């Protein structure tokens, strides 16, 4: 079960529509957005065919790619932005189960999900599944 603060709900109400049910693990054709202090929210759009687009932030990683199945998701960061090794290392130390692995040489970030997927963390930012992101 996920509890969301009232301020976070108000933020989402203004910027995007939240999907209440958790994902079944398939992230193809889904949108994920940050909550909180991001204005506008940062959005990740997982397109069918394995392409991923960032909007509102992390734009230097466009275009990116992804692959995976219901329990493992690989994100291959594109673009010219420096790979976020320090942020991912900090994330892994602070919350070991929030990230399975990362590989700066392959520019790959891997999440392992043993159950339903309702949020994911990337370099210190929590992303929640949403119905859509404007322009993504």
How many whole angstroms separate alpha carbon 77 and alpha carbon 60?
9
- Span 105-134, pLDDT tens digits: 999 999 987 666 778 888 888 899 888 887
**Reported pTM:** 0.76
Are residues 55 and 49 in contact, defined by beta-carbon separation less than 8 angstroms? no
- Span 4-36, pLDDT tens digits: 333 333 333 333 333 323 344 577 888 999 986
Dihedral over alpha carbons 24, 29, 14, 18 (to 10 degrees): -10
**H-run or E-run covering 61:** none
Are residues 25 and 111 in contact, defined by beta-carbon separation less than 8 angstroms? no
């Amino acid at each position: 079960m996920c509890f969301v603060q009232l301020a976070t709900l108000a933020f989402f109400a203004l910027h995007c529509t939240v999907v209440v049910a958790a994902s079944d693990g398939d992230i193809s054709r889904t949108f994920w957005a940050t909550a909180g202090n991001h204005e506008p929210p940062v959005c990740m759009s997982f397109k069918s065919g394995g392409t991923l687009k960032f909007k509102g932030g992390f734009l230097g990683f466009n275009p990116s790619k992804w692959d995976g199945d219901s329990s493992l998701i690989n994100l291959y960061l594109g673009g010219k932005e420096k790979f976020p090794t320090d942020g991912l290392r900090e994330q892994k130390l602070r919350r070991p189960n929030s990230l399975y692995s990362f590989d700066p040489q392959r520019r790959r970030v891997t999440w392992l999900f043993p159950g339903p997927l309702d949020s994911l963390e990337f370099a210190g930012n929590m992303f929640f599944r949403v119905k859509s992101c404007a322009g993504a």
